[in-house]
Amino acid sequence: MTTVLQIEPDSRWADFLRVTVAKCTGFHVFGVAGCAAEGLDRCATHAPDLVVLEPNLFEVNAVALIDRLGAILPTTRVLLLTARQDDAILLRGQRVPVAGMLWKTRADEAQLGQALLAVAAGGVYFSVDVSTAIRRLRQAGDSWWKFFTPLEVGLLERMAGGETDEYIAAAVGSKPATVHGHRIRIMAKLGVHSLVDLQAWARRHGVVPTALPAPPCVPAWHPGSSSR
């Protein structure tokens, strides 16, 4: 039996996963975490085989959250079911522990079921539209991320979310002065001169969290083998 934990702030998408999993043999959703802190705690306590993650969480940096999941549970596989379509999440989605990615704007029951089966079996599953976007990202010669280190990509998202140098330093185990130096270099690379400009750039490029789309229509879920 493959145990599944979902980290998802939208109860509609939690219900969508439950309905889909109910039609797949050999899976059990033992819980849904509505925020990153709860999700990390449940991962540490229950060690699920598979985490279905929406990294579009307003209270935490998405790249850092995925890295943390990998550190807590190196053998757990992560399937991203997300509203985020920006370059930063496409970049992070190509490295472990992520083994698959679906966009909520296109996902349906059949596609999600295929992704669950593939990832649980040790394979990978990236939907056609996600795969196309990744190829575009790799081929584009002027993509912004090609001018940034992986560390800077993660810091950029934190900075665009309004986190201070002191807060970021405490979170990543660095010094505020070091983080500030990264901030100066990042803003110089982007050609922006203030936090307002940085946040505007991040919104244009989808680096900060966005509103979640509604899931496809599914039959009403009646509690059975799994619980929130």
Tell me the two tokens of residue 100. 């698959």
| Cα–Cα distance measured from residue 78 to residue 155, given in angstroms and rounded to the nearest whole number | 22
82-104, pLDDT tens digit by residue? 998 888 888 889 989 999 999 99
Q: What is the maximum span of the chain, computed from C-alpha positions, in angstroms?
A: 54
- Distance (Å, rounded) from C-alpha 104 to C-alpha 219? 18
Q: What percent of the chain has pLDDT over 70?
A: 91
Beta-carbon count within 10 A of 8 CB: 25
- Residue that wins the pLDDT comparison between 173 and 221: 173
pLDDT at 217: 58
Residue 21 has pLDDT above 80, yes or no: yes
Triad 33, 38, 40: Cα angle to 5°? 105
- Residue 228: pLDDT over 60: no
Measured CA to CA, the distance from residue 12 to residue 174 in angstroms comes to 38
CATH superfamily of 2-138: Response regulator (3.40.50.2300)
Confidence category of residue 59, pLDDT binned at 50, 70, 90: confident
With a cut of 60, say whether residue 225 has pLDDT above it. Answer: no
Helix (H, G, I), strand (E, B) or coil at 73: coil
Distance, in Å, from the CA atom of 182 to the CA atom of 177, rounded to the nearest integer, reads 9
* Token pair 């993660």: residue: 154
pLDDT in tens, 155-200: 998 898 889 999 999 988 999 999 999 999 999 999 999 999 999 9
Mean pLDDT of 44-73: 89
Kindly report which listed range (8-17, 194-203, 211-220) carries the lowest average pLDDT score: 211-220
**pLDDT 10s digits, 125-154:** 999 999 999 999 888 877 787 788 888 988
Task: Give the helix ranges, DSSP H, for 47-174.
Answer: 62-72, 87-92, 109-120, 128-139, 150-160, 165-172
Element at 39 (helix H, strand E): helix 36-46
pTM, two decimals, is 0.78
Chain region(s) in the chain for CATH 1.10.10.10: 144-204
The pLDDT score that the predictor gives to residue 227 is: 39
Domain covering 144-204, topology: Arc Repressor Mutant, subunit A (1.10.10)
